[in-house]
Amino acid sequence: MGKTLKGYRLINTKYPKIALFEDVASKEEFEALYALQALTNPRLQNEAGDVSLIHPSEIPYDCPHKSYAVAPFTHINKDGSRFADGSRGAFYIADNETTAQAEVFYHHDRYYRNVESLHYDKFTLQTLEVCFDAPNLYDFSEYPADHPVLNPTSYVQSQAFANQLIADGYDGIQYPSVRLSGATNWVLFSPKRITSIKPTTKIDMTWNGTKISQLALAKTIKTPGSD
């Protein structure tokens, strides 16, 4: 799996790009700029997250919009996810926008159902087109759908499985989507394999107190040469 792959990821627009990562083009620049800002800018950690969780060599310095690649590894989900146990980050990518929407729809719907007395909310998701080159992916696509690693709600087995693959030197995993039959997802254990990220469309989602009731195109981002 050494070829360049392309997929999609949706993120909540309440999480902006991180200026620290956008402003650097090398490991040396990152280390110098971070050291300077850490001394003079007390808000740095709130924006950049815990940069000690990622080695400077893992930052894809040549990647456009690289802060989107790095953010999941400095702002980690302490509750964990399918292939991350809460002590480290992971970057999830779907094979197309429909799959990405199905994945995000499930997790947002689950979150809102646990918020008491919330009768309405509207949020906007940014679609990211992601290109990556991961020559050492573990291919889980042919495993049976009832395998414990693909359990729809429990991540105990999948987290342990991912930890072993990381120890064995794998870049990530290709696996079937649990939320959309026939679709494919990838997870990367480091952002260093991401070669480009391009923001495309924005999607509005609406919570009506019972379920996510609407999914609508919010805005199209024009890029040079797209006409």
Domain membership flag for residue 105:
no
| pLDDT tens digits for range 12-30 | 998 878 888 998 899 998 8
Q: Which of 36-45, 74-83, 97-106, 116-125 has the lowest mean pLDDT?
A: 36-45
In whole angstroms, how far apart are CA 130 and each of 10, 28, 116? 10, 25, 35
Look at residue 214 and tell me if it is in a domain.
no
Residue 183: give the domain boundaries: 4-96+129-195
For 69, the enclosing helix (H) or strand (E) is helix 66-74
Which pLDDT score is estimated for 70? Answer: 96
Residue 116 lies in a domain: no
Could you give the CA distance from residue 182 to residue 195 in angstroms, rounded to a whole number? Answer: 26
Smallest CA-to-CA distance from 63 within 222, 223, 192, 226 is with: 192
| Total count of domains within the chain | 1
- 9 vs 38, 48, 114, 143, CA distance in Å? 30, 20, 24, 24
DSSP assignment of 77-136 equals: -TT-BTTB-SSS--EEEESSHHHHHHHHHHHHHHHHHTSTT---EEEEEEEEEEEEE-TT
223 located within any domain: no
Task: Compute φ and ψ for 112, nearest 5 degrees.
Answer: -65, -30
Distance of CA 147 to the CA centre of its chain: 23
197-218, pLDDT tens digit by residue? 999 999 998 999 988 876 667 6
Q: Is the pLDDT of residue 38 over 70?
A: no
Whether the predicted pLDDT of 225 surpasses 50? no
Contact 202, 125 (CB under 8 A): yes
What is the CA 61 to chain-centroid distance, rounded? 17
The tokens of 102 are what?
A: 């199905």
Average pLDDT value for residue range 119-148: 94
For residue 77, which amino acid is it? N
Q: Is residue 101 part of a domain?
A: no
Residue 103 lies in a domain: no
Please report which helix (H) or strand (E) contains residue 25, including its range. none
User: Domain for residue 189, yes or no?
Assistant: yes
Whole-structure pTM value? 0.89
Band (227; pLDDT cuts 50, 70, 90)? very low
Residue 221 lies in a domain: no
